[in-house]
Chains A and B, each alone.
Chain A
């Protein structure tokens, strides 16, 4: 009898351990299973490749934002950086693809660096600084474009990064996965990655350890904007036009994906792969709503909000349960 209890406890513990360490993966699996059970036309290759293509731009930007979240910060300037990168790319696309790519990424990186320097120099909360740069960059984009979209001059490369599929997998999704893997490697195997987590975990302690906190933070914001810029460029390539309104709401969606991926918003812990899984989860939930044609499009707000709330609450309960186990 005692043996049986022991075995049972052990099994529960194992399942619990698995669930605990890979929450994002399990959530994704659950969502995929449910969606493919309820909707026959979910698991067909056209739907899947479309889904991957739609979410990869937001995903690349979310990868960037993950750097900032690691330091315990937030970046609200994402939507305007998306628009800015698109506009710069469109303006330079006449000079060749690579010139335009470089110019747009450079512009985005400058925005991120500005964010980082302002946050480190003035000690104003990241929320407010990036809110201000959001307004400022948006203002610049509107002033420049006069609220019209700008045509991107088409080239083979533009088609390649936005509208090409390899065995049904879009190139933009492959770019997202490569970005995720490279960032994960950087996080785990470089001193920058360790410094990033140290700064997020305890800024003061990191400072006394001899880490250049300001440099690490500025780098995080610069990376965030650069990745967001890349997302914006791919979006502009896909639409063959840069729109000043592009990217609205991306900051909140990316943040949701990051949280679903298991990254702590207070910093110091998390993973890039989790972010990608989070993006896919949210994408599939959105996809399921569009497959359910009887619901009006307003329902996507309810489902997205409700889903996020449930995930977050469950994560919180698991966390509390964990702590209780640790203490007892």
Chain B
């Protein structure tokens, strides 16, 4: 009798670990930071952390959608760079801010449409398609600027990265609203079911009558939409376009956050809340390392260990 009880509690423990493993890691991290990092638990530093996390969060949510169809998008960093260049060029030509921003959305989503089409209809592995697009788009952006930084002084565009509403940075509000919207949509729309079905078992999804190719393209285009928002924030933050130095790290962090969040990279249910937790974990690693004056080289090792550990938590006793 005692034995069965024991195994039962074991099973419950494992379930909790599997379901809330990442949350536990995040809480542990916050707890350690409150204990050891000076000035961590102040409003300004919390806002600072959220501000830094907002770009990665937007990109990672987009990546989550793509990953849930079983694909990667390594080009998002280049889109971020491209958005800056388009804005800078348009504004310099005297085009109103609204149309400059709009054209960013159009261009990036068109690129993602092409990527999605190649992946879905020509059935080429997304990783190599997006590596090619990443290189191409980065090249286009850098050739346009000649490798230099172009300054942007337009007030309404800079609001994306520097504006504040009631003392809260606008980018945090924007990110929270967008992500909340996506969580809401993904929890009840048919699209989300189709997305999971496509990633889980594509053949079955086709047999059920889902147009999986369209779903894949949609996922890529939504990812493009989110990357454009991220690009606008980054452009406003650095007050200019700097395609030579921006965007290389974004796709890898986004994929890491997605994986930590529990979305299977081979395709399956998109877990946006998990991804947001993953983003927070990665951001907290960076922040706590910065605030404690730990060397960059150690931060890489710590990052690696935490990525593996938080995935181990989820995968423990899966079989």
Query: Chain A: residues with CB nearer than 8 A to chain B?
Result: 74, 76, 118, 122-125, 127-129, 131-136, 138-143, 147, 252, 255-256, 259, 265-266, 296, 298-306, 308-309, 312-313, 315-317, 319-320
Contact = CB atoms under 8 A, between A and B. Distances in A.
Is the interface on chain B under 10, 10 to 19, 20 to 34, or 35 or more residues?
35 or more
Q: Which of A76, A128, A296 has the most CB of B within 10 A?
A: A128
B123 interface: yes
B124 A122 contact: no
B297 A135 contact: no
B318 A128 contact: no
Contact of A259 (B128, B133, B147): B128
B147 to A, nearest CB: 6
Given A305-B133, A306-B139, A309-B132, 13 more contacts: A125-B259, A129-B308, A132-B304, A132-B307, A132-B308, A139-B298, A139-B301, A139-B302, A143-B295, A298-B139, A298-B244, A301-B135, A301-B138
Interface in B297-313: 297-305, 307-308, 311-312
Contacts, number: 150
Contacts of A76: 252
Contact of B125 (A133, A265, A313): A265
Interface of B: 72, 118, 122-125, 127-129, 131-140, 142-143, 146-147, 244, 252, 255-256, 259, 265-266, 295-305, 307-308, 311-312, 315, 318
A266 B137 CA distance: 25
Q: Which of B137, B252, B304 has the most CB of A within 10 A?
A: B304
Given A128-B255, A298-B146, A303-B139, A135 B129 contact: no
Contacts of A266: 125
Determine chain A's interface SS by DSSP, over half rule.
helix
A136 B300 contact: yes
A299 to B, nearest CB: 6
Contacts of B318: 123
30 contacts: A122-B312, A124-B308, A125-B266, A127-B255, A131-B252, A132-B303, A132-B305, A132-B308, A135-B304, A138-B297, A139-B298, A139-B299, A139-B300, A142-B295, A256-B131, A259-B125, A265-B127, A266-B125, A296-B143, A300-B139, A302-B135, A303-B139, A305-B134, A306-B132, A306-B139, A313-B118, A313-B124, A316-B124, A317-B122, A319-B122
Contacts of B312: 122, 124
Contact of A308 (B128, B301, B308, B311): B128
A300 B136 CA distance: 9
A255 B195 CA distance: 28
Contact of A143 (B142, B255, B298, B307): B298
A125 B71 CA distance: 13
A289 B31 CA distance: 54
Contacts of A122: 308, 311-312, 315
A286 to B, nearest CB: 12
Q: Which of B118, B123, B301, B318 has the most CB of A within 10 A?
A: B301
B288 to A, nearest CB: 16
A85 B311 CA distance: 28
Given A128-B259, A139-B299, A305-B139, A312 B129 contact: yes
Nearest to A265: B125
A316 B279 CA distance: 35
Contacts of A134: 304
B315 A124 contact: yes
Contacts of A265: 125, 127-128
A127 B147 CA distance: 31
Given A124-B315, A128-B265, A129-B308, A301 B142 contact: yes
A296 B147 CA distance: 9
Contacts of B147: 296, 298
A303 B265 CA distance: 30
A25 B236 CA distance: 47
A13 to B, nearest CB: 23
B51 to A, nearest CB: 24
A265 B128 CA distance: 8
A255 B127 CA distance: 10
Contact of B143 (A252, A256, A299, A312): A299
Contacts of A135: 300-301, 303-304, 307
Contacts of B72: 127
B132 A305 contact: yes
A123 B318 CA distance: 9
A124 B304 CA distance: 13
Given A301-B136, A305-B139, A320 B296 contact: no
Given A124-B308, A131-B307, A320-B122, A140 B301 contact: yes
A265 B129 CA distance: 11
A76 B249 CA distance: 13
Going nearest first, the 5 A-B pairs with the smallest beta carbon separation are A301-B139, A305-B136, A305-B135, A139-B300, A302-B139
